[in-house]
Structure 1
Amino acid sequence: MRITIVINSLSGGGAERAAVLLAEGLVTRDHQVSLVTIFPESTDFYQLSEQVTRVPLGIDGKSSNPIAAISNNLNRLRILRKSINSLEPDLVISYLYKTNVLTLLALIGSKCPVIVSEQNHPQSTKVSPVWNQLRSWVYPLASKVVSTSKGVDAYFDWMPPAKREVIYNPLAVTSQTAEDVAIPPEFNPEKQWLIAMGRLTEQKAFDVLLQAFARIAQQYSNWQLLILGEGELRGELEQLKTELGLGQQVVMPGLIANPFPLLRRGQLFVLSSRYEGFGNVIIEAMACGLPVISTDCPSGPSEIIQDDISGLLVPVTNVDALAQAMATLMSRPDKRQQFIEKAQQGLGRFELQNILDRWEELFMSYK
Structure 2
Amino acid sequence: MTSRKIAFVLPSFAGGGAERVMLHFLHSLKPEQYQVVLIVLTGEGPLRASLSKSVRLIDLGASRLRTALFRLRHCISKEKPDVLVSTMGYLNLAVLGVCATLSQPPSVIVREANTVDSTLRWLPIGVGKLAYRLLYPRADFVVCNARHVANELEALCPGLRRSVELIVNPIDVPGLRIQAIQPISEEFSKGWFVAIGRLTPAKGFDRLLEVLSECPPQVKVLFIGDGPERSRLESLTKSMNVSPQARFIGFQDNPWAILARSRGLVMMSRWEGLPNVALEALACGVPVYGLESVDGLGEIQEQAAQGAVLLAPNSQELVDLLSTSAISGSKSDELAPSLLPAAFEGAVVRQQFMSLVEKALHERHGRADTE
Superposition TM-score tier, normalisation by shorter sequence: 0.7 to 0.9
Query: Whole-Å Cα distance in 2 between the matches of residues 136 and 297 of structure 1?
Result: 27
Cα deviation digits, residues 204-237 of structure 1 (max 9, x gap): 100111111121142x1xx531111111111110
**Is 2:133 the partner of 1:136?**
yes
**Is 2:122 the partner of 1:127?**
yes
Change over 3 Å in CA distance of 1:324–1:124 after alignment to 2 = farther
User: Equivalent residues in 2 for 1:56-71 (5 A)?
Assistant: 56-61=59-64
Displacement of 1:244: 1.7
The one-letter amino acid of 2:114's match is: N
Cα deviation digits, residues 137-165 of structure 1 (max 9, x gap): 11111111111111100012213322111
Percent identity between the two aligned chains: 29
Change over 3 Å in CA distance of 1:170–1:297 after alignment to 2 = farther
Cα pair 1:296 1:314 within 8 Å, conserved: yes
Cα pair 1:274 1:295 within 8 Å, conserved: no
- TM-score for both structures, normalised by structure 1: 0.85
Query: Whole-Å Cα distance in 2 between the matches of residues 112 and 362 of structure 1?
Result: 14
**Is 2:176 the partner of 1:174?**
yes
Cα pair 2:189 2:262 within 8 Å, conserved: no
Matched residue, 1:216: 215
**Is 2:261 the partner of 1:265?**
yes
Matched residue, 1:3: 6
Displacement of 1:28: 6.7
User: Equivalent residues in 2 for 1:1-367 (5 A)?
Assistant: 1-27=4-30, 30-38=33-41, 40-47=42-49, 48-61=51-64, 73=66, 76-108=68-100, 109=102, 110-125=104-119, 126-128=121-123, 129=125, 130-157=127-154, 158-172=158-172, 173-176=175-178, 180-183=182-185, 188-189=187-188, 191-218=190-217, 220=218, 223-297=219-293, 299-306=295-302, 309-315=307-313, 318-332=314-328, 344=339, 346-366=340-360, 367=362
Displacement of 1:248: 4.0
Cα pair 1:2 1:32 within 8 Å, conserved: yes
The one-letter amino acid of 2:280's match is: E
Displacement of 1:44: 4.5
Query: Whole-Å Cα distance in 1 between the matches of residues 93 and 160 of structure 2?
Result: 18
Identify the range of structure 1 (238-247 vs 306-315) with the bigger mean alpha-carbon deviation.
Answer: 306-315
Query: Whole-Å Cα distance in 2 between the matches of residues 297 and 113 of structure 1?
Result: 36
Query: Once superposed, what is the RMSD of the aligned Cα atoms?
Result: 2.6
Matched residue, 1:68: none
- TM-score for both structures, normalised by structure 2: 0.84
Identify the range of structure 1 (191-200 vs 295-304) with the bigger mean alpha-carbon deviation.
Answer: 295-304
Query: Whole-Å Cα distance in 1 between the matches of residues 236 and 48 of structure 2?
Result: 30
Cα pair 1:268 1:330 within 8 Å, conserved: no
Change over 3 Å in CA distance of 1:116–1:211 after alignment to 2 = same
Displacement of 1:85: 3.0
Cα deviation digits, residues 6-54 of structure 1 (max 9, x gap): 121121211111111111122478432211111x223444531222222
Task: Give the gaps of 5 or more residues in structure 2.
Answer: 363-371
Change over 3 Å in CA distance of 1:269–1:28 after alignment to 2 = farther
Task: Give the gaps of 5 or more residues in structure 1.
Answer: 62-71
Query: What's the secondary structure of 2:171's corresponding residue?
Result: coil
Query: Whole-Å Cα distance in 2 between the matches of residues 326 and 227 of structure 1?
Result: 16
Displacement of 1:87: 2.7
Identify the range of structure 1 (112-121 vs 287-296) with the bigger mean alpha-carbon deviation.
Answer: 287-296
Matched residue, 1:69: none
Change over 3 Å in CA distance of 1:349–1:178 after alignment to 2 = closer
Query: What's the secondary structure of 1:216's corresponding residue?
Result: coil
Cα pair 1:286 1:292 within 8 Å, conserved: yes
Change over 3 Å in CA distance of 1:297–1:243 after alignment to 2 = same
The one-letter amino acid of 2:28's match is: G
Cα pair 2:12 2:45 within 8 Å, conserved: yes
Cα pair 2:287 2:307 within 8 Å, conserved: no
Cα deviation digits, residues 235-254 of structure 1 (max 9, x gap): 11000111122224311111
Query: Whole-Å Cα distance in 2 between the matches of residues 349 and 254 of structure 1?
Result: 31
Query: Whole-Å Cα distance in 1 between the matches of residues 269 and 132 of structure 2?
Result: 24
Query: Whole-Å Cα distance in 2 between the matches of residues 138 and 210 of structure 1?
Result: 40
Change over 3 Å in CA distance of 1:324–1:198 after alignment to 2 = same
Displacement of 1:92: 0.5
Change over 3 Å in CA distance of 1:296–1:144 after alignment to 2 = same
Cα pair 1:10 1:46 within 8 Å, conserved: yes
Query: What's the secondary structure of 2:8's corresponding residue?
Result: strand
Query: Whole-Å Cα distance in 1 between the matches of residues 183 and 277 of structure 2?
Result: 20
Change over 3 Å in CA distance of 1:76–1:131 after alignment to 2 = farther
Change over 3 Å in CA distance of 1:137–1:214 after alignment to 2 = same
Change over 3 Å in CA distance of 1:9–1:247 after alignment to 2 = same
Query: Whole-Å Cα distance in 2 between the matches of residues 348 and 179 of structure 1?
Result: 21
Displacement of 1:79: 1.1
Displacement of 1:295: 2.3
